[in-house]
Amino acid sequence: MLEKLKALVEVSVLEAVFFVIAWFFEAVQGSGYGWYSKSIMIILAFLGLAMHRFRGRYNLLSRNLKSSLKWSAILSVLFLFSILAAVLLSLFLGSFKAINISEILVNLVWFMIFVGFAEELFFRCYVQERLNEVFNKKFKSILGVRFEWHQGTLIAGVLFFGIPHILVTWNPFTGHLTFGIETVAIAASASFIGVTWSILKEKTGDVILPTVFHGLLDFSVFGISRMTGILASSITSGIGILIFFAFLFEKILLSNNFDYQEH
């Protein structure tokens, strides 16, 4: 019990440090503060991994780089079609607005590196693995697919990734607070998809696939929304997620190309 408490305190402290710094940057910087706060998140992730000397489950090396890149490429194609579909739908709805290509590229860098990579490195590579050290009870399946995964993965995906999305609506330094049904919906959806990315981390042993999934999903919803409108990008991205769970999720978890071994 003591070891579980120590792990919870450790990851809670680092996550709290991130939120305090992010709130501070938001208060003093305003627009664009995320570039600074997410850079801090990457530093905190490496700090957490360094505390455990990058050994064992904290090793950043891919279990099977070729398989991770293969599935990442398949996901990339899926979301490319999702983005193209959003453009076509926005043309049909009359919501399409041309934007500068440089803005699209900046958004792509933001969502892939400072959202996808930063959050997956911190929450999946550090927080999840730290909790799995002590919360090692195993579940036998996920969404009807037979795959063993750890209790720590669930805790990390829901309590440390999903629910904290509520805190994005609050800043104690400015007194800003917005909370409503939309906030709850965002936290719930983030918990669900966060567990999905956590499961992919358990399967692959690295954050390549979760990072690509995370970054491209957010980019396909928010990164192109100024061009297509949020309705078109949300609809087509939602269809992309349904296609993933219908045709790819089970294949990835049942794949024997990752040479899965217990940490």
pTM: 0.96
Overall size of the chain counted in residues: 263
Instruction: Evaluate if residue 263 carries a pLDDT over 50.
Output: no
What is the distance between the alpha carbons of residues 138 and 153, in angstroms, rounded to a whole number?
Answer: 10
- 3-class secondary-structure state, position 61: coil
Predicted pLDDT of residue 259: 57
* Contact between residue 209 and residue 72 where contact means Cβ atoms under 8 Å apart: yes
**Per-residue tokens: 157:** 């995906």
227-254 mean pLDDT? 97
Dihedral sign for Cα atoms in the order 188, 192, 198, 204: negative
Query: Where do we find the tokens 């992730």?
Result: 45
Long-range contacts of 116-119 (CB under 8 A, 24+ apart): 116/210, 116/211, 116/212, 116/213, 116/214, 116/215, 116/216, 116/218, 117/42, 117/207, 117/211, 117/215, 118/38, 118/39, 118/41, 118/42, 118/45, 119/38, 119/41, 119/161, 119/214
What is the distance between the alpha carbons of residues 22 and 32, in angstroms, rounded to a whole number?
Answer: 11
**Per-residue tokens: 18:** 């991130």
What is the distance between the alpha carbons of residues 126 and 82, in angstroms, rounded to a whole number?
Answer: 31
Strand partners, 176: 171
Predicted pLDDT of residue 11: 98
For the stretch 5-48, pLDDT in tens is 999 999 999 999 999 999 999 999 988 999 999 999 999 999 99
For the stretch 62-86, pLDDT in tens is 878 999 999 999 999 999 999 999 9
For the stretch 180-238, pLDDT in tens is 898 999 999 999 999 999 999 999 999 999 999 999 999 999 999 999 999 999 999 99
For the stretch 91-139, pLDDT in tens is 999 999 999 999 999 999 999 999 999 999 999 999 999 999 999 999 9
155-161 mean pLDDT? 98
